[in-house]
Structure 1
Amino acid sequence: MDPLQGIAREIRFLDGLARTLWSVRKIDPDSDFLVCDDFEEAVDTFADHTALVFEGERYTYRQLDALANRFAAWADAQGLKAGDNVALLLPNRAEYVPAWVGLTKLGIAAALINNNLTGAALAHCLSISNASHVITDNEGLAATETIRAGLPRVLSYWIIDAEFPTANDRHALDLKSPKLAPERPLRSRRTGLKARDVALYIYTSGTTGMPKAAKITHMRAQLYMRSFAGATKANAEDKIYCVLPLYHATGGLCGVGSALLRGGTLVLRRKFSATHFWGDVIENECTMFVYIGELCRYLVNQDPSPDDRRHQLRLAFGNGLRPEVWEEFQARFNVPRVMEFYGSTEGNVSMFNFDGQPGAIGRVPPYLQRNFAVRLVKFDVETEMPVRGEDGLCQLCGPDEPGEAVGLIKDDARHNYTGYADKAASERKILRDVLEKGDAWFRTGDLMRQDKDGYFYFVDRIGDTFRWKGENVSTTEVAEVISRYPGVDEASVYGVKIDRIDGRAGMAAITPSEEFKIEGLRDYLTRELPSYARPLFIRIAPAIETTGTFKYRKVDLVRDGFDPAKIEQAVYFAQPDEQRYISLTPALYVHIQSGAFKL
């Protein structure tokens, strides 16, 4: 990088950082200015501007506020009060944001339930919500039919657009009823509430087990919403396209905040559709969109279309855009800027890649390192714990050395850690005696590396990295290599246990297209990966199960292992003598488990 490019980079970084920090400067845990006050302030400023577009309907800021006030009136009629919880079991729809905003006007917390859940997972999330009422729709109500008897408490279900008859535990929620006043409840109704009080419960995605309910205080919601309004340079002319679920923070707070705190318009779709994506963006004249996970890969995998570059986008922002997709996505669709960020729903570590360095999840330049309370500590993947020195303290990583990202816990807006509803789960995420005795840091559970220029790069989730042949294998890095092989639409990599062999052998679940050929895969991986990182097993999967935020669920894949009796689709084994992948039969499975091969 020449000196002029370096100067331009620093200007972009410092400009983005200054805007973001300025946006959150007044957030204070002891303030009585809550997230609903932020919303009301925007309503008063942009009253008749279009706030939301959903399925052909347009809503002004004033109309959204009236909807929020009707939800507050409903809660008041049920005798709910500050400190109570209500569960929201809804898909993306116009009432979603007004529902939780209206509840916060009375100090009531909303538990945002993933509307795709069924069975035990849904029962678990409703149970730990501590809610007595559930706001849902017909589909959500149907999903609860088989689990009600197993819930620890009786819940009342309130159905928007009800088609079910009313009963003891289910009622129509008529938002047009004159009994539900559209006027704002008096601000005195939340007297005594502070920004450190809980506004929402947002659930982790449950990639490795049951979801956990993260406590989102008013302060934390404000931090999400205000920081993204600042980082994206959002203004009243912007139209932000959101296809992400509103029950998660990226769409529901980061995307919503960018649109609604600065007078912009949120263009909301019920769910992501790769075939309708660019048509929607063009028709609604969107200037930004918010992405997560594999969304951009799905777009890249679509056939080229004249609509690919007819948009007016100036920015795409989100997290999880993998390096092998980034440059192709940006070049093909002519998106001027991509702003990747890192953050977890429950944690206190956040960072932005303001200058669009492909693959980087954020940056802390060396000259500002002391001003940011995030560090990478050396990590032992076998014990799944940070490495400590003779003094009992953690050891910091050097440039490009992978380690776990941790964030210093302090009682202010940027560094506060509120954890989960489950106190034991919250405590497990705290690492003590890191840089000095008595300090406390939040464990992100993510392995990263930081280069000499301060860019952070994601390496893997703790638990996904495994050891094989005495080496650490990053599932993310191996999956990126496999994804570049012709005919691979998706790849998820994980480790599986083989009897009487130390470590875990690599296995990849692959969703193939028509051009995929297993015959050339072994040679390709031999060229691209060291021997210890090449998957020993390949599983063909028509589709790889993901969460609502497109994260791969590996728990079932790991449980199946490489046993062909548990897997309906084809499984292949990298036969060491033949240097190719061969079909794994039940007899060959027994042979491998017996230790017949030198692996």
Structure 2
Amino acid sequence: MSGLEIAVAALLGTQLLEAKHHVKEDAKMIGHAISKAIPFLYSAAKGKVSYWYYFESTALKKPNNLAICFPRPREDKSKLVKDEQGYPIYDNQFVMESYTYKELYDMVLRLSYILKFDYGVTAEQNIVVSCTNKPLFIILWMALWNIGAVPAFLNFNTKGKPLLHCLKVVNGTQLFIDPECADPIKETEDLIYSELPNFKLHYINEPELMRVLQNPSIPKHRAPDHTRRPQDTDSSCSLLIYTSGTTGMPKSAIMSWRKVALASFMFGYIMKIKANSNVLTAMPLYHSTAAVLGVCPSIYVGGCVSISQKFSATSFWTQAKLCNATHIQYVGEVCRYLLNSKPHPDQQRHNVTIAYGNGLRRDIWLEFKRRFNIKYIGEFYASTESPVATTNFQAGEFGVGACRKYGSFLNLFFTLSQAIVKMDPNDSNVIWRDPKTGFAVSAKPDEPGEMLMRVINPKNVEGTFQGYYGNKKATSSKIIRDVFKKGDAYFRSGDLLKLDEDGMLYFVDRLGDTFRWKSENVAATEVENELMGSGVIKQSVVVGVQVPDHEGRAGFAVIDPIDELNTTDHHPEILKKIYDHASKSLPRYAMPQFIKISSDIKIQHNHKVPKQQFKNQKLPKGENGNELIYWLHNDRYEELTEDAWKQITSGKAKL
């Protein structure tokens, strides 16, 4: 063999090795992580762990870069006009707003002055924010970080007792309210003031406040560094994000400074977010996906965050075009909504090359890329409270459907820090342990199991998993010990995943009582409790059921009525009372979409209801075809007929 042939063979061998093991990609990622982690840890040791310093640095170094783009919906929407081909023109439905980093920084400092000197906000307080997607959200957020206060991002759909609970559980002192979020708060005012007489509610006059914040004569306040919680470490709380978890009322997950930093310099690096990037999110900013994985990485590098106030499949690509977005965020439902929408020229008139999020189904993955000319998909797996996230930055056709795709080196790292373990075949919520050793067993390739994440120091769990604010019981319930050896500790994800022979990870399903619907986690226990409050039920069971061509699981309630109403003639009365009561306290997405009235709810010896039997409910009429089931149609429950079911599954009737 000649020298040239040997060189060619060596080159081909190297390329094949790289294609299989991605050594260069892993090396670059590891090198980037080290180069960013060392300065972060050094700053943390010096008392400057807050993300505020990243924001300020970007604003001072790149003052003229565009920071925020906002297509604000017109209040007096003009009548839709059509182009020559008959397609609606959505451009005139929005008034475009944009702010440079200099303008944003100045507005943040002016609002900081107002918050500190007019409202008495200090670094010792936890401040609740109820705000829709708009620049005001980010200005409030950064102003609180400037002062050193901890923001708690409220789901603005929350009302009644769950709202009161959210204020209590974070030891909040004040709530700042966007005018478009005011109704649920006003409905709950009496309850808030009776339970929390010292709590302060502030209804913001947004147009007036935005004028004030852009007035150069208004004083600014840049808090001294020594007042910005310099005692914080990398595991200290940066902000609080509510999550329903698996049972009961919403829990407030602690987002550590470390997670915010990792999202900024690692997640953003993986998703190719750069100074010239423009990330459009229509996901609620009160969720970690939009806030921590959308806003933080963009600001860190000096890119632009484009905020869609509310997701709309019809105008989404128009907004992407108007904002000049390069990236879009999604949850699985969003991708399917967009695919189901009518074709529009703007779906090809945008500059988006990267779509990232979680929950994009394998069956529509490639179709989504092709139709909307998306080059890369960035699918990730994480939860608000989980210590570690995984990613799959996918191009071409390899890796479709996976939520983790790395090279051999990083796969080895994740093998040491994560595990997929076998579940008890008789109870899918219980981890199976080997009777001989008492330890858990790793699932085989392509065998679903619960994802566990290793706690680095089992004697200091909070160093890895910060848990839920003010809820030690819920925090400890997420930790399992003695998994593979005596004394170890792991975080329980509560999710079923599977690993293939190539080391790629795939999401399978959620464990427990929580299910996702309309991009929200729904806690079944919370819904059951509200149904019981109607006064017409002895027992209720709520699960999530699958509906063809719908992402997530829709709420399905089985209710056992009180004896005096236990006849079919009383069904209209029961359903009306359930709706009237539950709709006042539950957000729309948490309302049961289907209800079956039945006296056949069995209680186990441990006083638990075996819910698995209901999760596979066959719609619309049950296995035998003669069950009577109702569905939520507009503002009332109606019989789920075969015709209604066809309307739902075809997309003509909306759940």
| Class of the TM-score when normalised by the shorter of the 2 chains | 0.7 to 0.9
- Tell me the equivalent position of 2:231: 193
| Secondary structure of 1:146's aligned partner | helix
- Tell me the equivalent position of 2:400: 358
Q: Distance in 2 between matches of 1:461 and 1:493?
A: 13
Deviation of residue 360 (structure 1)? Answer: 0.6
Contact 1:105 1:187 in 2 (8 A): no
Contact 1:203 1:212 in 2 (8 A): yes
| Secondary structure of 2:324's aligned partner | coil
Q: Cα gap change, 1:318/1:489 in structure 2, threshold over 3 Å: closer, same or farther? A: closer
1:451 aligns with 2:490: no
Provide Cα deviations, 1:417-471, integer angstroms capped at 9, x if missing partner.
Answer: 10001111000000111121111110000011000000111111112699xxxxx
Provide Cα deviations, 1:458-515, integer angstroms capped at 9, x if missing partner.
Answer: 111112699xxxxxxxx99x94xx63xxxx456737898899xxxxxxxxxxxxxxxx
| Secondary structure of 1:215's aligned partner | strand
- Tell me the equivalent position of 2:299: 260
Contact 1:160 1:173 in 2 (8 A): no
Q: Output aligned runs, 1:449-598, within 5 Å.
A: 449-463=498-512, 479=546, 483=548, 488=549, 492=553, 553=590, 556=592, 560-561=595-596, 563=598, 571-575=620-624, 581=625, 584=628
Contact 1:381 1:465 in 2 (8 A): no
C-alpha RMSD of matched pairs (Å): 3.8
Q: Distance in 1 between matches of 2:362 and 2:278?
A: 27
1:47 alignment partner, one of 47, 63, 69: 63
Deviation of residue 332 (structure 1)? Answer: 1.3
Contact 1:296 1:329 in 2 (8 A): yes
Q: Tell me the amino acid that sits aligned with residue 66 of structure 1.
A: D
Deviation of residue 225 (structure 1)? Answer: 2.4
Deviation of residue 290 (structure 1)? Answer: 1.1
1:7 aligns with 2:48: no
Deviation of residue 177 (structure 1)? Answer: 7.7
Contact 1:107 1:199 in 2 (8 A): no
1:21 alignment partner, one of 29, 33, 36: 33
Deviation of residue 46 (structure 1)? Answer: 0.9
Q: Cα gap change, 1:260/1:355 in structure 2, threshold over 3 Å: closer, same or farther? A: same
| Secondary structure of 1:25's aligned partner | helix
Deviation of residue 302 (structure 1)? Answer: 0.5
| Secondary structure of 2:128's aligned partner | strand
- Tell me the equivalent position of 1:115: 156
- Tell me the equivalent position of 1:433: 482
| Secondary structure of 1:185's aligned partner | coil
Bigger fraction of residues in helix: 2
Contact 2:126 2:151 in 1 (8 A): yes
Q: Distance in 2 between matches of 1:179 and 1:132?
A: 29
Deviation of residue 242 (structure 1)? Answer: 1.1
Q: Distance in 2 between matches of 1:23 and 1:296?
A: 35
- Tell me the equivalent position of 1:279: 318
Q: Output aligned runs, 1:279-298, within 5 Å.
A: 279-298=318-337
1:157 alignment partner, one of 201, 224, 232: 201
Provide Cα deviations, 1:121-161, integer angstroms capped at 9, x if missing partner.
Answer: 22221222211111112233332123223233132122321
- Tell me the equivalent position of 1:126: 167
Q: Cα gap change, 1:233/1:415 in structure 2, threshold over 3 Å: closer, same or farther? A: farther
| Secondary structure of 1:147's aligned partner | helix
Q: Cα gap change, 1:402/1:285 in structure 2, threshold over 3 Å: closer, same or farther? A: same
Provide Cα deviations, 1:10-43, integer angstroms capped at 9, x if missing partner.
Answer: 4485277447625752343655231111111111
TM-score calculated relative to the size of structure 1: 0.76
1:225 alignment partner, one of 264, 272, 277: 264
Q: Distance in 2 between matches of 1:25 and 1:462?
A: 33
Contact 1:23 1:229 in 2 (8 A): no
Deviation of residue 162 (structure 1)? Answer: 6.2
Q: Tell me the amino acid that sits aligned with residue 307 of structure 2.
A: L
2:446 alignment partner, one of 400, 415, 423: 400
1:63 aligns with 2:103: yes
| Secondary structure of 1:73's aligned partner | helix
Comparing 405-414 with 41-50, which one deviates more in the overlay? 405-414
Deviation of residue 305 (structure 1)? Answer: 2.2
Count of aligned pairs: 508
| Secondary structure of 1:246's aligned partner | coil
Deviation of residue 556 (structure 1)? Answer: 3.4
Q: Distance in 1 between matches of 2:629 and 2:229?
A: 68
Contact 1:19 1:231 in 2 (8 A): no
Q: Cα gap change, 1:333/1:9 in structure 2, threshold over 3 Å: closer, same or farther? A: farther
Q: Distance in 1 between matches of 2:514 and 2:279?
A: 36
Q: Distance in 1 between matches of 2:145 and 2:344?
A: 44
Q: Cα gap change, 1:19/1:276 in structure 2, threshold over 3 Å: closer, same or farther? A: farther
Contact 2:159 2:587 in 1 (8 A): no
- Tell me the equivalent position of 1:470: none
1:377 alignment partner, one of 392, 398, 421: 421
- Tell me the equivalent position of 1:530: none
Q: Distance in 2 between matches of 1:549 and 1:62?
A: 38
Q: Distance in 2 between matches of 1:188 and 1:127?
A: 28
Q: Cα gap change, 1:489/1:214 in structure 2, threshold over 3 Å: closer, same or farther? A: closer
Deviation of residue 348 (structure 1)? Answer: 1.0
Q: Cα gap change, 1:298/1:207 in structure 2, threshold over 3 Å: closer, same or farther? A: farther
Comparing 174-183 with 150-159, which one deviates more in the overlay? 174-183
Deviation of residue 349 (structure 1)? Answer: 2.8
Q: Tell me the amino acid that sits aligned with residue 167 of structure 2.
A: L
Comparing 405-414 with 188-197, which one deviates more in the overlay? 405-414
Q: Cα gap change, 1:444/1:186 in structure 2, threshold over 3 Å: closer, same or farther? A: same
Deviation of residue 284 (structure 1)? Answer: 2.1
Unaligned runs of 5+ in 2: 1-11, 73-95, 516-542, 561-582, 601-618, 631-638, 640-655
Provide Cα deviations, 1:195-243, integer angstroms capped at 9, x if missing partner.
Answer: 3321210011568642210011222222222222211222221111111
Comparing 316-325 with 335-344, which one deviates more in the overlay? 316-325
Q: Distance in 1 between matches of 2:164 and 2:203?
A: 18
Q: Distance in 2 between matches of 1:91 and 1:585?
A: 35
Contact 1:316 1:339 in 2 (8 A): yes
Q: Distance in 2 between matches of 1:116 and 1:465?
A: 18
Deviation of residue 98 (structure 1)? Answer: 2.1
TM-score calculated relative to the size of structure 2: 0.70
Q: Tell me the amino acid that sits aligned with residue 556 of structure 1.
A: P
Q: Cα gap change, 1:459/1:491 in structure 2, threshold over 3 Å: closer, same or farther? A: closer
